Amino acid sequence: MSSVKIQLRRKGILTLPVSLRRKYDLDENDVFTLEDLGDGSFLLIPEVSKVAHLGDRVADVMAEEDTSLEEMLEALDEERERYYREQYEQP
């Protein structure tokens, strides 16, 4: 475990060193949870964007299945139409 010094600035702003931002792929507007450990120590935990995480999963599946974006969008349209028929059309 390594440590770095950071300074609390006006309005409570902390700047993370670029080495950590690069290492953990952190960007502006990322959200963190700050856990107060109760003894003057804090734990800063980055929250993974659910949209980004799901997008990565979709990209992985598309690559595994050798599926293009156009094919995926066509399949989604077909599924949406099927769902609509099942849910809303009268028998």
Q: Which string of DSSP letters, residue by residue, matches the chain? A: ---------GGG-----HHHHHHTT--TT--EEEEE-SSS-EEEEEPPPHHHHHHHHHHHHHHHHT--HHHHHHHHHHHHHHHHHHHHS--
Model-level pTM greater than 0.85? no
Q: Using one digit for the tens of pLDDT, what is the confidence trace for 7-49?
A: 999 999 999 999 999 988 888 888 899 999 999 999 999 887 7
